[in-house]
């Protein structure tokens, strides 16, 4: 679908509004044209000049004919009244036109946004891995409004073209010779404008790119505020965003400066052309008709009104040129043929009876040729737990993502009670699955709403029960408004462990048949980890569970452990079986143990290095101060006192640093018993 088709498709949904806009534009143009043509005879009448219109062009005679019936004494007065009435009608039409086109623009923007939103909720999750959230928000908000404005610009341009056609018709009927001359002169004016319009398009495109970059960067910083703060990168981010803001301001200025130059340029060239037309008109008309002053004046009035309309039309073209990149972006965003959507099945899913089976499942991500999963054969009987272990990147999350059909296998099939997942009703299937993942997602809503997300009809009693089971109730009670506390954007007000326990409470309340756990206790402190682990155990008890295990200590209870390596299941069995086999799993256990030890050694090393750095810095400062005093550079006694005092405080800090070094040494000599991740078999 081309961008023009997009415009037509959306504008076509509002035929009534579009017709009304064009009709109001047309009536306005008609009232404007006739009123303008009437001004000349009225003016000349007031100046006492006889209009003598007998040999005037027929259009003037037609416009003036209704006034023939009026007695001559009142004719001028009635004509003046008619001019005022026509101008009034023209302005009324313009007023209603503004209201109608405003309503049309709002309807179009909403329609475009709603279509975009619907698409975002339908499209495969893979779409979100290719395009950032900031980019999507920018497209859904700014670009859609700009696309709607582009459609309105076209509708307005059509109205202007109709008005111009009426004016040109009147001009031709007044004098075709003058109209040919005017057309040539105005063509020159148009060519001059073309150059600026071409530039406006370029500036518009650049501005669109720069503002998009800024929106994305701003959203990144807001979303990653914790990281920014924890790495003390506020100044760097401030400078980066400031530069992006300045770039956008500059691009806006350039675009505005170019657009602003178009109207004056067109007016100056227009006025020069007009003066040439006056000269020409006087020569042409004076020889031909008696009523030449009425005709020339009427002609000039009409032409003088046509010029701004031409400028308006040029302006609309210019505006469309700068908006058309957004139409392309909106078109690309709303197209369904360049995105993938999950096909729905028709078999309802009510209850899991036997189990889940992976039948020679292979999978490659869309647009990637190498498979991430190869020939996976697994069976998870109802009520049992399958743990997936393996190095990072082995394919564990991908395998888990196939269950709620975030992706479909490229080869093989996954069946639930022997029915292919692709045949099942996708909403039934997903409702039957609960996912608790590493990056727990919480909405910026109350604790209650977050827990009840999958079951909004749950009672307070049920929610509290779920919270209690998830070890979350105690901390919820301590929050300022208990269950009704708003938890801030993505739950920033809660600790990692608290967020996890809320997610577990959510899953407990949902009570899904099948549970997918991306076990995430590794980033938590010991107390939180224990609380989360307890809650997870309650959640997965007697439930068909697929758990991605990051810490091997937590998978020992699983009925089956599948060890994945580069997308293949290389070992399958219970914890004890696999340890006894002494293969890859046993190796992984050993590695994790040494990693834990190494991380303790590593962190001690870091602490020593930091303390030693601090001691060195303080010593340098102290020696610098003392050197100045010893060498007699400081004559001023006050300054000498100050330096001595500084040296004294540096020495005090040095003592403290030494104490902490001794403390670290003590810890190395009497290490706390490091819990083994796996008990030796």
Interface with ligand ADP (CB under 6 A)? 129, 365, 368, 372, 390, 392-398
Minimum separation from the CB atom of position 189 to ligand ADP (A): 55
Of 442, 365, 367, nearest to 401 (Cα)?
365
CA distances from 591 to 375, 386, 643 (A): 27, 22, 54
Minimum separation from the CB atom of position 125 to ligand ADP (A): 8
Minimum separation from the CB atom of position 400 to ligand ADP (A): 8
Nearer to ligand ADP by Cβ, of 73 and 392: the residue is 392
8 Å CB contact between 441 and 449: no
Maximal C-alpha separation, the chain: 121
Q: What is the DSSP letter of 513?
A: S
8 Å CB contact between 430 and 405: yes
The torsion of the CA quartet 344, 348, 351, 352, rounded to 10 degrees, works out to -40
| Beta-ladder partners of 514 | 433, 544
C-alpha 455/C-alpha 512 separation (Å) is: 11
8 Å CB contact between 330 and 150: no
Minimum separation from the CB atom of position 595 to ligand ADP (A): 16
Nearer to ligand ADP by Cβ, of 394 and 589: the residue is 394
Q: Locate 681 and state its tokens.
A: 């078999």
- Opening angle at CA 39, ends 35 and 40, nearest 5: 135
Nearer to ligand ADP by Cβ, of 536 and 622: the residue is 536
Nearer to ligand ADP by Cβ, of 150 and 394: the residue is 394
Nearer to ligand ADP by Cβ, of 369 and 673: the residue is 369
- Please give the order of strands across the beta sheet that includes 385-389: 433-436, 514-518, 544-548, 385-389, 560-565, 568-573
Nearer to ligand ADP by Cβ, of 472 and 547: the residue is 547
Backbone angles phi, psi at 375, to 5 degrees: 50, 55
Minimum separation from the CB atom of position 306 to ligand ADP (A): 58
Minimum separation from the CB atom of position 578 to ligand ADP (A): 17
Minimum separation from the CB atom of position 312 to ligand ADP (A): 49
Minimum separation from the CB atom of position 368 to ligand ADP (A): 5
Q: What is the DSSP letter of 495?
A: -
- Opening angle at CA 379, ends 378 and 383, nearest 5: 140
Nearer to ligand ADP by Cβ, of 133 and 268: the residue is 133
CA distances from 203 to 4, 143, 317, 566 (A): 21, 16, 14, 48
C-alpha 324/C-alpha 201 separation (Å) is: 8
Nearer to ligand ADP by Cβ, of 374 and 422: the residue is 374
Nearer to ligand ADP by Cβ, of 75 and 568: the residue is 568
Per residue, the 3-state secondary structure of 80-140, as one string, reads: HHHHHHHHHHHHHHHHHHHHHHHHHHHHHHHHHHHHHHHHHHHECCHHHHHCCHHHHHHHH
Minimum separation from the CB atom of position 215 to ligand ADP (A): 23
Of 128, 36, 40, 52, nearest to 84 (Cα)?
36
Any residues with CB less than 8 A from the CB of 321 and at least 6 apart, and which?
Answer: 197, 198, 200, 201, 204
Nearer to ligand ADP by Cβ, of 513 and 519: the residue is 519
C-alpha 78/C-alpha 45 separation (Å) is: 12
Minimum separation from the CB atom of position 518 to ligand ADP (A): 8
H or E segment and range at residue 266: helix 234-288
Nearer to ligand ADP by Cβ, of 373 and 470: the residue is 373
8 Å CB contact between 24 and 156: no
Minimum separation from the CB atom of position 93 to ligand ADP (A): 55
Minimum separation from the CB atom of position 589 to ligand ADP (A): 17
- Opening angle at CA 625, ends 620 and 626, nearest 5: 95
Nearer to ligand ADP by Cβ, of 392 and 542: the residue is 392
8 Å CB contact between 567 and 371: yes
Minimum separation from the CB atom of position 390 to ligand ADP (A): 6
């Amino acid at each position: 679908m081309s961008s023009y088709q997009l415009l037509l498709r959306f504008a076509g949904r509002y035929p009534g509004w579009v017709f009304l806009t064009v009709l109001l534009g047309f009536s306005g143009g008609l009232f404007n044209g006739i009123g303008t043509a009437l001004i000349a005879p009225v003016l000349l009448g007031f100046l006492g000049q006889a209009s003598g219109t007998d040999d005037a062009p027929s259009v003037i005679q037609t416009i003036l004919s209704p006034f023939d019936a009026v007695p001559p004494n009142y004719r001028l007065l009635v004509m003046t009244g008619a001019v005022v009435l026509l101008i009034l009608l023209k302005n009324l039409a313009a007023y209603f036109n503004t209201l109608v086109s405003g309503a049309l623009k709002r309807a179009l923007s909403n329609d475009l946004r709603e279509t975009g939103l619907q698409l975002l909720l339908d499209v495969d999750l893979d779409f979100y891995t290719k395009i950032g959230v900031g980019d999507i928000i920018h497209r859904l908000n700014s670009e859609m409004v700009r696309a709607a404005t582009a459609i309105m610009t076209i509708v307005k341009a059509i109205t202007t073209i109709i008005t111009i056609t009426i004016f040109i018709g009147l001009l031709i009927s007044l004098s075709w010779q003058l109209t040919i001359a005017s057309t040539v002169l105005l063509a020159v004016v148009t060519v001059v404008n073309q150059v600026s319009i071409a530039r406006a398009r370029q500036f518009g495109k650049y501005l669109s790119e720069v503002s998009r970059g800024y929106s994305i960067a701003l959203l990144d910083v807001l979303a990653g505020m914790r990281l920014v703060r924890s790495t003390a990168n506020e100044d760097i981010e401030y400078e980066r965003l400031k530069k992006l803001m300045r770039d956008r301001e500059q691009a806006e200025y350039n675009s505005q400066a170019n657009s602003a130059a178009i109207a004056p340029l067109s007016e100056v060239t227009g006025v020069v052309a007009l003066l040439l037309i006056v000269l020409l008109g006087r020569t042409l008309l004076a020889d031909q008709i008696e009523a030449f002053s009425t005709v020339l004046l009427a002609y000039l009035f009409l032409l003088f009104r046509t010029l701004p309309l031409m400028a308006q039309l040029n302006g609309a073209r210019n505006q469309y040129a700068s908006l058309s990149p957004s139409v392309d972006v909106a078109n690309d965003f709303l197209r369904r043929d360049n995105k993938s959507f999950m096909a729905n099945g028709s078999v309802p899913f009510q209850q899991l009876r036997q189990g889940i089976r992976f039948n020679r499942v292979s999978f490659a991500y869309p647009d990637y040729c190498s498979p991430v999963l190869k020939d996976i054969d697994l069976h998870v009987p109802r009520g049992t737990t399958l743990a997936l272990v393996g190095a990072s990147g082995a394919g564990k999350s991908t395998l888990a993502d196939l269950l709620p059909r975030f992706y479909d296998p490229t080869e093989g099939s996954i069946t639930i009670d022997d029915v292919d997942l692709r045949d099942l009703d996708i909403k039934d299937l997903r409702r039957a699955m609960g996912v608790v993942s590493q990056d727990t997602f919480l909405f910026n809503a109350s604790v209650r709403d977050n827990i009840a997300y999958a079951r909004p009809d749950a009672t307070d009693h049920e929610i509290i029960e779920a919270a209690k089971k998830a070890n979350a109730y105690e901390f919820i009670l301590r929050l300022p408004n208990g269950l009704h506390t708003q938890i801030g954007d993505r739950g920033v007000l809660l600790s990692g462990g608290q967020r996890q326990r809320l997610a577990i409470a959510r899953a407990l309340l949902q009570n899904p048949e099948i549970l997918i756990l991306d076990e995430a206790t590794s980033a938590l402190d010991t107390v939180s980890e224990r609380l989360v682990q307890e809650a997870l155990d309650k959640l997965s008890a007697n439930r068909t569970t697929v758990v991605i295990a990051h810490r091997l200590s937590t998978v020992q209870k699983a009925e089956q452990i599948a060890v994945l390596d580069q997308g293949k299941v290389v070992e399958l069995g219970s914890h004890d079986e696999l340890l006894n086999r002494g293969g890859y799993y046993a190796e992984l256990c050993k590695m994790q143990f040494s990693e834990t030890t190494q991380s303790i050694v590593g962190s001690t090393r870091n602490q020593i290095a930091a303390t030693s750095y601090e001691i060195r810095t303080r010593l340098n400062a102290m020696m610098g101060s003392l050197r100045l005093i010893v060498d007699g550079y400081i004559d001023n006694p006050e300054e000498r006192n100050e330096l001595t005092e500084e040296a004294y405080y540096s020495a005090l800090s040095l003592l403290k640093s030494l104490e902490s070094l001794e403390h670290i040494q003590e810890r190395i000599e009497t290490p706390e018993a490091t819990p083994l991740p796996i008990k030796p078999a």
